[in-house]
Structure 1
Amino acid sequence: MHVVSVIGSDSSTLVERLVERLAVEGRVATVSNLPQSPAPGFEESVTFGGAGAGVTYGLGDGWTALGDDRDLSDVVDDCAPEYDYLLADGFLEADLPTIVAGNRPENPGIRGLILATVDAETADLDELVDVVEGTEPHETLDSLVAAVKRSPDAERSGAIATFTGRVRAKDDDDDARTELLEFEMYEGVAQETMATISRELEQRDGVFEVRMYHRSGVVRDGEDIVFVVVLAGHRGEAFRTVSDGIDRLKDEVPIFKKEVTTDEEFWVHERS
């Protein structure tokens, strides 16, 4: 799923136009930042907030969620299995690829990489679709599992095996705690290498589809780093292939890792 933040004085206007255009290409989700709370009593009139529900969905032509137990990253993860695009409207400090529509907010906290600054009414939507599709897709374990379940060979499969790699805080009790890892990839090369490995593994008898995803940038203690998902006829080939897949990914894909602990930071390959 491609995720882009839209900010600026005319962000909602651009989101409305861009949603219509992106819907031609695939499934689109939007999430809007509400800077002000609804009028007092509004939640009670349309939701079960008074009964203690953390979040309530109101269904009609669309849906609305109210509550304080979800943040933008939660919503992005939730949407990833079902949608091809997500536009986040008005989240100034989101660390996401960003399009500015109209006047740029005077906010020093803007974190996203600015991809384009446009006029919301006249922006070329085909060009913006290319901008959105040029961003790195956001994947989760659930989104990869959902993707292999949509395989034409899904009816012949009896097993889905998965591997999730995550940031380990420490190996031993006496180790300095790892706060984060930072990953750098040669643009395009890592993705193509993973695609090649997946295609080669799919040549095995009984293996129908292989998906791999490795995050780049900063990944913090306890967060997920890498996923391998295998759709197969039986559990034996599924388990063998997911194990071989992560081994080949670690051995063959050009990814560089910097480790930041409470004591120091270093590039792992320089200590190998």
Structure 2
Amino acid sequence: MTWLLLGLLGRIGSVSAQSLTIAQLEAEWDRYASKDAFYTKYKGQTLEVTGHLDIISTDRDYSTNQEFKLLELVVNEKSVLNRKITLDVRFPTNSVDAAALDRLAKGQPLTVRGTVNSFVLSGSLRMRMNGSQYRLSGAPAPEPMPQTKAAPADPPLGTYSVYQSDGRRFKFQYEFRLLDRNRYQLYDKVGTYRYNPATKVLRFITGSLTAFTGLYYTKGRNNDEGKPAIALSWDGQVPDLANAFGADLQYAYFNIP
């Protein structure tokens, strides 16, 4: 099993590290009633974490003018809707073969070693790590997606998490709740909407989403898993999912209890 080391070869190799998968971290995250206890346990710890590569990008710390390669690891590259933890790992470009990292494929099993430095909670948790090593071999096969019931024909009542693309990744925006077939709630404000079961179109009439139009769907753009989802447009037009590339749409995914 070969580690690809990023400098400090002897010293890094001697640092003990707890080995975990992102699936194990997510299960532990769920068990903690106080999330501060999770942060305290892992901040500053050296870990070896195994997951699947989702995104590779280049980032820069403008305070030091240091450029980094940023690897984002998840439980499974197909689990966009239900991710609980994304591991952000930064490797300085002056101590890594950037071209080799760029050749890694989306979905590739990967184990990284590094020190946890911070957390960002926005819908799901982003766990940030300063990377020192990564390993391509020996990672487990992708975990099978759990079997789920067929999505309902109409949007289920409950909470929806809304995401929007910034050109690189989906980012969490806000949550709203369908209270019944006429009312919804965003933050502490209740508004009204109309839903047409024949066209699957929701029109938001009052409240924080006034003039937004939604289209309920269960398969297709940004929804390969067949989950209840609502595409949202702010201009009153019914979202055209067949021609949505580059469109300024938001995507609301139902939070399955």
Richer in strand (by share): 2
The structure that is helix-richer by fraction is 1
TM-score scaled by length of structure 1 = 0.26
- TM-score where L is the length of structure 2: 0.27
Greater RCO (CA < 8 Å, at least 6 residues apart):
1
